[in-house]
Structure 1
Amino acid sequence: MKRIKLGMLFAWVLTLLLVGAPLHAQEGGTADMEKSGEQAMAVAKRMAEFLSKAQSFSVTVDTGFDVVQDSGQKIEFGEIRNIVLRRPDHLRIDETKRNGVKGGMMFDGKDLVVFNLKANVYATDARTDKPGTVDEAIAHFINDLDMRLPLAELVDSNLPKMLEAGVREAAYVEQSQIAGVPCDHIALRGKKADLQLWVAQGDQPLPCRLVITYTREDGRPQYWAQFSDWNLSPKAPNSLFVFTPPKGAVKIAFSPRMIQPVGTGMKEGK
């Protein structure tokens, strides 16, 4: 059975874009469907523009994802990710998996660092010869170093263009609430997956929840993310983005398996 490569989950979500609308959203005439699609895209674009223009933010993301076993059974794994972004060139992501393994990544405009606290190892990729932006660092991290970074598109300033290029179908589902926050629930569809988004109403159209269904994968596995504690003016001094190796930590080469959980006994996504 193929393993699901989660390193590009959010990249797939918004660059390949993707979600079937509920049946009731598809009922009605062509004019109604067009109006629903236009309304959904307006919500999605507003969210994308808002995030891409934010000069800084922090957010906590509780995620879960299915991994289809060789038997066909779906097993859910998950993690909590704390993200701090300070444009144009600072990013920190701390990750705690459900089995307790802690790790993450940092970028300070020059050095890109990934660490695993359980294994007490870390890897660095110095960019002193070519300092770059968060966008460039993420592209290098995923494409060149072959590392996983769920929700990468969330911090990419090109999000609006990626969204517009990837969506093939869209539908407005309903007004609803996520954790007490009034939201617009929309459905988007692309070539390889379906995406549902719940976007906060009001003057801060932030994502509150997303669910991805990988329609071309065996078993149609899902990935979901619940967003909380959004802060558009977080305290983010330079020191927050500098990694200090713990005592006894070993520096190793970048490896896609470096930050994976250990000993689950189940096949897990990358």
Structure 2
Amino acid sequence: MRAFQQHVRLFSLGLVLGVFTTPLYAADGPPAQLEPKAMEILKAMSARLASTQGMSFKAVTTYEKPSRLGPPLAYGTVDLVNVQRPDHLRVLTSGDGSATEFYYDGKKAYAFERKNNLLAQADAPPTIDATLEAAYRRAAIYFPFTDVIVTNPYQDLSRDMRVAFYIGQSTVVGDTTTDVIAYTSDSVFVQAWIGAQDKLPRRLRAVYLDDPTRSRHQVDFSDWKLESAMSADFFKPDHIKTAHRIQFAPPPDLRAPQGAKP
């Protein structure tokens, strides 16, 4: 516990002093400092997630956005997620904003807004990983739990990692004992709470280092089930024939200015 308290104090001091306001290292800076215990915990979590052909969970995400007064406001979403590898995904999202539904049935991706009966539909790649990337590129659709449901979570999480260290154990998160680790790349600092026994993620807390507001987002995971045997219709919206059709496109404030080059 003393080590945990020391790391908390160091991290808090880093926020106050602005230690994390720029990348920790330049591209040609010091070599990565990856504590073996932290990496073992990350590998065990990734192996548990990758070993199942299907899973479902609940993800509650809290986002921070600066207020008019400066200090951030918090907004929340709740995602009910079903994964059936390699090519089926359903995400039902509610919370502070319009409720939305995302489906992928192995051939097509659908985004459905039930309140106004709006449906976007497009041909999709043959895997969940490729479909998530296509959805982001085409319509700025991104899920904060993406690294948990990809084929190889460890590969995605450890890419460009600069520092990783073990903090200690906690009994506060997820009604279980968790191992707490932290890791960073040049772009994001993450603190993770991972079940000590079941190796499942219970909380991920991230700060994007290129964000001048230092806004954070936090994902809390619960209701884990490492199995899925849902019917094909489960991964399609139920109003395909009667919904008003729209195109997949990013929100207006995320679109490139007219005439801009990629």
Return closer, same or farther for 1:22/1:167 CA change in 2, 3 Å cut-off: farther
Give the Å deviation of 1:118.
Answer: 2.4
Does 2:170 align with 1:176?
yes
Picking from 200, 222, 227, the partner of 1:233 is 227
Percentage of pairs with the same residue:
25
Picking from 215, 220, 237, the partner of 2:209 is 215
Picking from 189, 195, 201, the partner of 1:194 is 189
Does 2:117 align with 1:140?
no
**CA offsets per residue over residues 187-222 of structure 1, 9 Å max, x none?**
1111122100000012x3110011112233122111
Give the Å deviation of 1:235.
Answer: 4.3
- Paired residues of 1:36 and 1:172 also in contact (CA < 8 A): no
Return closer, same or farther for 1:250/1:46 CA change in 2, 3 Å cut-off: same
Does 2:119 align with 1:122?
yes
Picking from 20, 29, 43, the partner of 1:45 is 43
* Counterpart AA for 1:241: F
| 2:109 corresponding residue in structure 1 | 112
TM-score normalised by structure 1 residue count: 0.76
Give the Å deviation of 1:242.
Answer: 1.6
In structure 2, what is the Cα distance between the partners aligned to 1:213 and 1:245? Answer: 38
Unmatched 5+ stretches in structure 2: 1-6, 12-31, 253-262
In structure 2, what is the Cα distance between the partners aligned to 1:166 and 1:56? Answer: 28
Does 2:4 align with 1:22?
no
CA RMSD of aligned residues (A): 2.3
| 2:89 corresponding residue in structure 1 | 91
- Paired residues of 2:88 and 2:104 also in contact (CA < 8 A): yes
- SS of 1:157's partner is coil
- SS of 2:159's partner is helix
- Paired residues of 1:37 and 1:171 also in contact (CA < 8 A): yes
* Counterpart AA for 1:172: Y
- Paired residues of 2:138 and 2:248 also in contact (CA < 8 A): no
Picking from 70, 73, 88, the partner of 1:72 is 70
Unmatched 5+ stretches in structure 1: 1-20, 26-33, 259-270
Give the Å deviation of 1:229.
Answer: 0.3
- Paired residues of 1:199 and 1:209 also in contact (CA < 8 A): yes
Picking from 152, 170, 183, the partner of 2:146 is 152
* Counterpart AA for 1:119: N
- Paired residues of 1:40 and 1:172 also in contact (CA < 8 A): yes
**Number of aligned residue pairs:** 225
- Paired residues of 2:84 and 2:229 also in contact (CA < 8 A): no
In structure 2, what is the Cα distance between the partners aligned to 1:149 and 1:122? Answer: 19
* Counterpart AA for 1:82: L
In structure 1, what is the Cα distance between the partners aligned to 2:108 and 2:33? Answer: 47
**CA offsets per residue over residues 37-72 of structure 1, 9 Å max, x none?**
211111011111221222100000111000124653
Higher relative contact order (CA closer than 8 Å, sequence separation 6+): 1
- Paired residues of 2:33 and 2:163 also in contact (CA < 8 A): no
- Paired residues of 1:57 and 1:84 also in contact (CA < 8 A): yes
In structure 2, what is the Cα distance between the partners aligned to 1:140 and 1:68? Answer: 29
In structure 2, what is the Cα distance between the partners aligned to 1:156 and 1:180? Answer: 26
- SS of 1:239's partner is helix
Give the Å deviation of 1:255.
Answer: 2.2
